């Protein structure tokens, strides 16, 4: 049955995105009590942790990590702030980190310094004896929040009614809740990362004439263009309008149906920023993440995942200049790691991922000291059925890359 129009809403994670933006070049470390003054959601923790200095946090985290030993593995996403990622046993994107965790069955505890969907993915891939912990439960993802389960299920029912079971296949970006990954597992679909989206989309088209791509419209559109699709063959699904704001005829002609979601970080980048970078540095190379808009990706010299961006800049010749369209914490880290090159963020306003930024060292210390005392807090649990079907979709992805 075709759903009616719904009342639009904006995820709170999207509204809060600009909370940490600032004009300075550096993101200065502060005690948690100072950061709590920013008007966003924070998980409350014992007051003893609020006023600890960076030195006190460093000493106590060092002690408790030594005490826990191999019982705990700490994962740090590339977008984490520097004062957190330095404690990570592994650094990387979300899927790489989940696989890293799964390769350490001796670790009873996986502390994921990232966001909620990443911890869920680790929970899907890790052993049943391992407990995955997210230091701050307020660390969500605005993109994932733009595709809530009930809205996607409504859309899927509408599409199946219109197109038939063989007329469409679901494909979910890694940046989705476990329930959507399971949807792909149940209905013959697949998961992708920004690095393997082309291969995963090709796999999908060998099985169906149409693909529902969730939840990032920009990654989906940029991937479709790389595959040679025309813009006329892609439509956007607005969950707040009947049939996503499309006619039945338009959906029947479409090859790629893009969920109307986006990344709050990557949609800040503009072609005007690229033009300014080229005026400032005539020899600059622009590299952008494929979650950026189509216009930005096409104006850049190249695009790629976080791992691709890291590799390209690290392997670039000394003296080269790079304007980067991705999260500021990673860009700053790349600049420090490549002092023989000029590496800068295209966005002149420093805007870290506001949900990633909520993983403060105080939260990390809190969960680690709890583990040392036998207390598990903030465990992320995925139910058995969701875990089963999510693994099916993830395993399909691994077969094509």
DSSP 74-125: EEEETTS-HHHHTT-SEEE-HHHHHHHHHT-TT-SEEEEES-HHHHHHHHHH
* Coil, helix or strand at residue 376: coil
Residues 305, 233 within the same domain: no
Distance CA 70, CA 72 (A): 5
In a domain, 332, yes or no: yes
Contact 380, 173 (CB under 8 A): no
The tokens of 111 are what?
């502390």
Is residue 14 predicted with pLDDT exceeding 70? no
In a domain, 149, yes or no: yes
The predicted pLDDT at position 267 comes to 94
In a domain, 331, yes or no: yes
The domain of 251 spans 144-261
Query: Of 208, 226, 261, which marks where a domain is finished?
Result: 261
The predicted pLDDT at position 1 comes to 43
**Segment 26-53 mean pLDDT:** 83
In a domain, 394, yes or no: no
* Maximum mean pLDDT: which of 76-85, 135-144, 235-244, 353-362: 235-244
**Segment 189-199 mean pLDDT:** 95
The predicted pLDDT at position 108 comes to 95
Residues 166, 255 within the same domain: yes
**Segment 22-41 mean pLDDT:** 71
The predicted pLDDT at position 5 comes to 56
How many Cβ atoms sit within 10 Å of the Cβ of residue 401? 12
Residue 42 belongs to a domain with what CATH number? 3.40.50.10800
Residues 248, 273 within the same domain: no
The predicted pLDDT at position 218 comes to 98
Residues 255, 221 within the same domain: yes
| Domain count within the chain | 3
Residues 120, 84 within the same domain: yes
Is residue 186 predicted with pLDDT exceeding 70? yes
The predicted pLDDT at position 240 comes to 94
In a domain, 2, yes or no: no
Residues 366, 326 within the same domain: no
Residues 297, 275 within the same domain: yes
**Segment 187-211 mean pLDDT:** 96
Is residue 8 predicted with pLDDT exceeding 90? no
In a domain, 201, yes or no: yes
In a domain, 117, yes or no: yes
- pTM for the full predicted model: 0.89
Distance CA 223, CA 297 (A): 11
The predicted pLDDT at position 15 comes to 46
* Maximum mean pLDDT: which of 28-37, 76-85, 292-301, 322-331: 292-301
| Span of 22-31, 205-214, 258-267 with lowest mean pLDDT | 22-31
The tokens of 384 are what?
């058995």
The predicted pLDDT at position 2 comes to 44
Residue with tokens 């899907």: 124
The predicted pLDDT at position 26 comes to 57
- The interaxial angle of helices 384-400 and 178-186, nearest 10 deg, is 70
- pLDDT range class, residue 65, cuts 50, 70, 90: very high
Distance CA 301, CA 51 (A): 45
Query: Of 244, 261, 278, which marks where a domain is finished?
Result: 261
In a domain, 120, yes or no: yes
Residues 189, 242 within the same domain: yes
Residues 280, 337 within the same domain: yes
The predicted pLDDT at position 97 comes to 82
- pLDDT range class, residue 41, cuts 50, 70, 90: confident
**Segment 177-194 mean pLDDT:** 96
| Summary mean pLDDT of the chain | 91
The tokens of 86 are what?
């330095």
Residues 203, 253 within the same domain: yes
* Coil, helix or strand at residue 72: strand
Query: Of 206, 236, 261, which marks where a domain is finished?
Result: 261
- Give tens-digit pLDDT for 307-321: 999 999 999 999 999
E-only strand ranges, 227-329: 234-237, 256-259, 285-288, 302-303, 321-325
Residues 39, 112 within the same domain: yes
Is residue 24 predicted with pLDDT exceeding 60? no
Spatial neighbors of 29 by CB under 8 A, at least 6 apart, are 54, 81, 83
How much of the chain exceeds pLDDT 90, in percent? 76
Residues 252, 310 within the same domain: no
The predicted pLDDT at position 263 comes to 92
């Amino acid at each position: 049955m075709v759903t009616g129009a719904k009342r639009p809403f904006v995820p709170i994670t999207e509204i809060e995105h600009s909370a940490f933006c600032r004009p300075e070049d550096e993101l200065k470390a502060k005690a948690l009590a100072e950061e709590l003054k920013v008007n966003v959601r924070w998980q409350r923790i014992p007051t003893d942790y609020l006023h600890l200095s960076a030195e006190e946090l460093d000493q106590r985290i060092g002690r408790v990590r030594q005490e826990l030993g191999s019982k705990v593995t700490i994962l740090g996403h590339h977008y984490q702030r520097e004062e957190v990622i330095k404690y990570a046993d592994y650094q990387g994107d979300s899927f790489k980190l989940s696989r890293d965790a799964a390769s350490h069955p001796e670790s009873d505890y996986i502390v994921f310094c990232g966001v909620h969907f990443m911890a869920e993915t680790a929970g899907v891939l890790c052993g049943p004896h391992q407990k995955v912990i997210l230091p701050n439960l307020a660390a969500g993802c605005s993109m994932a929040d733009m595709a809530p389960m009930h809205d996607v299920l409504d859309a899927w029912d509408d599409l199946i009614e219109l197109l038939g079971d063989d007329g469409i296949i679901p494909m979910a970006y890694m940046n989705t809740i476990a329930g959507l990954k399971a949807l792909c597992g149940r209905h013959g679909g697949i998961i992708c990362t920004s690095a393997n989206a082309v291969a995963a989309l090709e796999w999908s088209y060998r099985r169906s004439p149409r693909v529902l791509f969730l939840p990032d419209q920009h990654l989906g559109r940029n991937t479709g263009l790389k595959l040679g699709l025309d813009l006329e063959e892609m439509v956007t699904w607005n969950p707040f309008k009947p049939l996503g704001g499309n006619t039945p005829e338009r959906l029947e002609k479409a090859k790629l149906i893009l969920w109307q979601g986006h990344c709050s970080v990557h949609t800040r980048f503009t072609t005007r920023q690229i033009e300014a970078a080229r005026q400032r540095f005539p020899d600059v190379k622009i590299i952008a993440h494929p979650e950026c808009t189509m216009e930005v990706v096409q104006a850049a010299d190249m695009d790629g995942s976080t791992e691709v961006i890291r590799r390209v800049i690290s392997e670039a010749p000394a003296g080269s200049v790079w304007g980067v369209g991705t999260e500021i914490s990673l860009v700053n880290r790349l600049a420090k790691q490549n002092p023989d090159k000029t590496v800068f963020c295209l966005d002149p306003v420093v805007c870290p991922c506001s949900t990633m930024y909520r993983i403060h060292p105080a939260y990390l210390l809190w969960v680690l000291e709890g583990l040392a005392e036998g207390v598990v807090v903030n465990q992320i649990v995925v139910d058995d059925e969701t875990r089963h079907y999510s693994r099916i979709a993830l395993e399909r992805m691994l077969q094509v890359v």
